[in-house]
Amino acid sequence: MAGLKISRATKSFGDFDAVKDVSIEVKDGEFLAVLGPSGCGKTTLLRLVAGFEKLTSGEIHIGDRLVSGSQGSVPPEKRRVGIVFQNYALWPHMTVAQNVGYALKVAKVDKAEARRKVAEALALVNLEGLADRRPANLSGGQRQRVALARCLVAAPSLVLFDEPLANLDVHLRASMEDEFAAFHKRTGTTIVYITHDQAEAMALADRIAVMDGGRLAQLAAPRDLFREPASAMVASFIAQGMVLSAKALTAAEAGHARVEVLGQEVVVRCRPGERPREAAKICIRSSDLEIVGDKGGGFDGTVVRAIYKGGTARIEFAPASDADTHLHFDQSEPIGLDSGSAIRMRIKSGWLIPNEPAV
Ligand SMILES: Nc1ncnc2c1ncn2[C@@H]1O[C@H](COP(=O)(O)OP(=O)(O)OP(=O)(O)O)[C@@H](O)[C@H]1O
Ligand SMILES: [Mg+2]
């Protein structure tokens, strides 16, 4: 296995920067997920690591080896990188074992050794019993595991996934997530995993890189990304955080600051030493909101929508002082709020979005 170091990587197509000045270090054995809106450069970044695209500037190291840089680029087949795409194209006329062993055959690996390697790769993805089946007779999840075995048979030092579960249904996704997690734990493979599914990223990854417009917006452990977003973009992108304008009342002290938001005073968490500006922004989650009685402080609002979700409802409401802002929280059964209901809410806590996003 090997770590990955992407240093100030930029990839331009004409005068458009698909990836812009991105630096990411993935430790040996780490599971890194990459999240971001469509078109933000995730696949391009992966293709740069795999060697299918050449860097415009910057460097990429796999382990200690410089694979992309100003001196040139190591071709994809010499990088020892395995790739699993969303569209895993298996050869329909070959059995599972033949699909997995194809690259070894092309490389003229000794037959007995190839058989052993194929068996090992199939064992890694729990497909030992299906070596002689053809792809048409497998489930979607099993096919995806054949694709994974096919990439593992070459003993890659790094495995890249580009939305590998996007074509599977919800139940299969969940069981494949478990399998990927188990696979990672068992093998300690260094993994870079692109997904659109935040829950999947949170469940699987040691750290998550959020990209926005070709740039790295934040690189952090799932919990830190959720609790301490580095910018308003990350705050609203991750788990639909609510971003509100606030006025700083006191300087930050011991990781907390007092702000005024929607006419209410709130003590919010912040970076140590953060100097909040007069015009600050905070991020709150639905669990930071509570319904209060008349004397409980807080602010008035009106319920805009109540969306029943089974056991809970998502309540969307607009504060009276700012009808254009929509906030939301979850209410469990019994759900006593309908569209048009007047409520009084209080913000219990929040996170002061830093002035200077530091990745
Ligand atoms: N070969 C190319 N020539 C020109 N532009 C390209 C090329 N490849 C990608 N782009 C552009 O670069 C940007 C990033 O594309 P990329 O495929 O990396 O996005 P992505 O984050 O993977 O999106 P998605 O989530 O939709 O898969 C897009 O605007 C895309 O149109
Ligand atoms: Mg993509």
Final residue before a domain boundary, out of 227, 251, 283:
227
The residue with tokens 């696949």 is 43
> Could you tell me the distance, in angstroms and rounded to a whole number, from the CA of residue 213 to the centre of ligand 2?
13
Interhelix angle 111-124/170-187, nearest 10 degrees: 120
CA quadruple 326, 327, 333, 334: dihedral positive or negative? negative
Q: Is 195 in the pocket of ligand 1 (CB under 6 A)?
A: no
Q: Is 248 in the pocket of ligand 1 (CB under 6 A)?
A: no
Q: Is residue 357 included in any domain, yes or no? A: no
Instruction: Please report, for the domain that includes residue 304, its CATH number.
Output: 2.40.50.140
Q: Are residues 196 and 320 in the same domain?
A: no
Q: Are residues 83 and 36 in the same domain?
A: yes
Task: Specify the residue with its C-alpha closest to ligand 1, atom 12.
Answer: 18
SS (H, E, C) the chain: CCCEEEEEEEEEECCEEEEEEEEEEECCCCEEEEECCCCCCHHHHHHHHHCCCCCCEEEEEECCEEEEECCEECCHHHCCEEEEECCCCCCCCCCHHHHHHHHHHHCCCCHHHHHHHHHHHHHHCCCHHHCCCCHHHCCHHHHHHHHHHHHHCCCCCEEEEECCCCCCCHHHHHHHHHHHHHHHHHHCCCEEEECCCHHHHHHHCCEEEEEECCEEEEEECHHHHHHCCCCHHHHHHHHHCEEEEEEECCCCECCEEEEEECCEEEEEECCCCCCCCCEEEEEECHHHEEECCCCCCCEEEEEEEEEECCCEEEEEEEECCCCCCCEEEEEECCCCCCCCCEEEEEECCCEECCCCCCC
Instruction: Please report, for the domain that includes residue 65, its CATH number.
Output: 3.40.50.300
Q: Are residues 309 and 213 in the same domain?
A: no
Domain coverage including residue 14: 4-227
* pLDDT tens per residue, range 236-276: 999 999 999 999 888 778 899 999 999 999 999 999 888 87
Q: Is residue 150 included in any domain, yes or no? A: yes
Q: Are residues 60 and 207 in the same domain?
A: yes
Q: Is residue 185 included in any domain, yes or no? A: yes
Mutate to test the pocket of ligand 1, among 11, 34, 40 (most ligand atoms within 8 A of CB): 40
Q: Is residue 233 included in any domain, yes or no? A: no
Are 313 and 337 in contact by the 8 Å Cβ rule? The answer is yes
Domain count, the chain: 2
> Could you tell me the distance, in angstroms and rounded to a whole number, from the CA of residue 182 to the centre of ligand 2?
25
Task: Specify the residue with its C-alpha closest to ligand 1, atom 30.
Answer: 39
Q: Is residue 183 included in any domain, yes or no? A: yes
> Could you tell me the distance, in angstroms and rounded to a whole number, from the CA of residue 22 to the centre of ligand 2?
16
For 284, how many CA atoms within 13 A lie in the half-sphere containing its CB? 24
Which residues of the chain register pLDDT less than 50?
Answer: none
List the one residue out of 45, 23, 14 whose CA is nearest residue 193: 45
Q: Are residues 249 and 216 in the same domain?
A: no
Q: Are residues 155 and 15 in the same domain?
A: yes
Q: What pLDDT sits at residue 98?
A: 95
What is the rounded CA–CA span in Å between residue 208 and residue 109?
A: 37
Q: Is 48 in the pocket of ligand 1 (CB under 6 A)?
A: no
Q: Are residues 344 and 267 in the same domain?
A: yes
> Could you tell me the distance, in angstroms and rounded to a whole number, from the CA of residue 68 to the centre of ligand 2?
21
Q: Is 336 in the pocket of ligand 1 (CB under 6 A)?
A: no
Q: Are residues 199 and 249 in the same domain?
A: no
**What is the percent of the chain where pLDDT is above 70?**
99
Q: Are residues 73 and 217 in the same domain?
A: yes
* pLDDT tens per residue, range 154-167: 888 899 999 988 87
Final residue before a domain boundary, out of 204, 227, 250:
227
User: Amino acid identity of 99?
Assistant: N
> Could you tell me the distance, in angstroms and rounded to a whole number, from the CA of residue 242 to the centre of ligand 2?
26
Task: Specify the residue with its C-alpha closest to ligand 1, atom 19.
Answer: 39
Task: Specify the residue with its C-alpha closest to ligand 1, atom 24.
Answer: 38
For 173, how many CA atoms within 13 A lie in the half-sphere containing its CB? 18
Mutate to test the pocket of ligand 1, among 16, 44, 48 (most ligand atoms within 8 A of CB): 44
Q: Are residues 28 and 60 in the same domain?
A: yes
Q: Is residue 276 included in any domain, yes or no? A: yes
Q: Are residues 69 and 217 in the same domain?
A: yes
The number of beta carbons lying within 10 Å of the beta carbon of residue 303 is: 16
Are 14 and 128 in contact by the 8 Å Cβ rule? The answer is no
Q: Are residues 269 and 177 in the same domain?
A: no
Final residue before a domain boundary, out of 163, 195, 227:
227
> Could you tell me the distance, in angstroms and rounded to a whole number, from the CA of residue 356 to the centre of ligand 2?
28
Atom of ligand 1 nearest to the CA of 44: 18
Q: Is residue 232 included in any domain, yes or no? A: no
User: Amino acid identity of 73?
Assistant: S
Q: Is residue 234 included in any domain, yes or no? A: no
